[in-house]
Amino acid sequence: MSVLPAPLQPVRPAFLTRVTPVARLVAGMAWLVASIVTLDPIVPVRLILAAVVALVLWSGLPLRRIPGRLAPLGLAIVSLTAFSILLSSSNGDRSVAAVVTLGPARITGPAIAAGLAVGLRVGVIALSTLLVFGPSDPTRMADSLVQQWHFPDRFAYGTLAALRVAPFMAGDWGTIGAARRLRGLQPRSPAARLRETGGRLLAMLVATIRRAERLALAMDARGFDSGIRRTHFRELRTTWRDWLTIVVALAVAAAALALPR
């Protein structure tokens, strides 16, 4: 019984679903770098706008479900921004005029700018991750890494298999917690709670290792990693779409950095 929400998957064909995953990875990295090389909050704002346009027009993802999925992260970004502003060292700089003064606490303009820059960068990371990984399933990412970047099969498909075990871990974690509560274990003190979590982790680890062993045996039985050079059922080739995506992403990153305010 899983409580995980269904993964976001493209619901219609779109430009980015036909771009190979490694090209999207390069594009995403470009934006990531652009958003962290400067402290000016205008750069992440521009990148976020570009990312939203790309998500709406070219990702093929179900747009109505995206806000719900990003909501917890949005909350984290807001609190991160607020704390960055409140705790900024430039608040203590008496030579800068305070924007807000609350008793002994004062907040300066530079503090607000720095805080916004931190929060907005996390926003860029979240949205570009969605653009990199959202338009295709993890299998295509593994295919792409192996075929285009010549990652070892063992690493790429091994990781993929591990990803398949992950949802079961979430299920097991819930089941184990339920089992322990039903057995009457309800730790009160922090120490007891820590011990309890340790026991729960151990049980989950055992379950996960057993599952992984079974999966590894099944993969061995089907000839995985037996020393033969694997072939590929689904061919991924670099196309003009990949180059276009990378060039546009680089251009957007450059524009976000260089355009006058």
Residues making contact with other proteins (CB under 8 A): 1, 3-6, 9, 11, 62, 65, 137-139, 157, 160-161, 164, 167-168, 172, 175-176, 178-186, 199, 203, 206-207, 210-211, 214-215, 217-235
- Closer residue to other proteins in complex, CB, 6/102: 6
Q: Would the CA dihedral through 131, 135, 139, 140 be positive or negative?
A: negative
Q: Give dist(CA 91, CA 112) in Å, integer.
A: 9
Report angle CA 159, 21, 77 to the nearest 5 degrees.
85
Q: For tokens 């079974």, what's the residue? A: 214
Task: Give whichever of 94 and 183 is closer to other proteins, judged by the CB atom.
Answer: 183
Residue with Cβ nearer other proteins (110 or 174): 174
Residue with tokens 């179900």: 62
Residue 235, H or E segment: none
Nearer to other proteins, 12 or 261 (CB): 12
- What residue type is 35 in one-letter code? S
Phi and psi at residue 12, to the nearest 5°: -150, 155
Q: How far is the CB of 41 from other proteins (least distance, A)?
A: 35
Pick 86 or 192: Cβ nearer other proteins: 192
Q: How far is the CB of 127 from other proteins (least distance, A)?
A: 21
Angle formed by the axes of helices 153-182 and 138-149, nearest 10°: 150
CB of 184 vs other proteins, minimal distance in Å: 3
Name the minimum Å distance from CB 84 to other proteins. Answer: 33
Q: In whole angstroms, give the CA distance from residue 173 to residue 152.
A: 31
Nearest-approach distance from CB 54 to other proteins, in angstroms: 21
CA triplet 121, 258, 17: central angle to 5 degrees? Answer: 60
**Least gap, CB of 67 to other proteins (angstroms):** 14
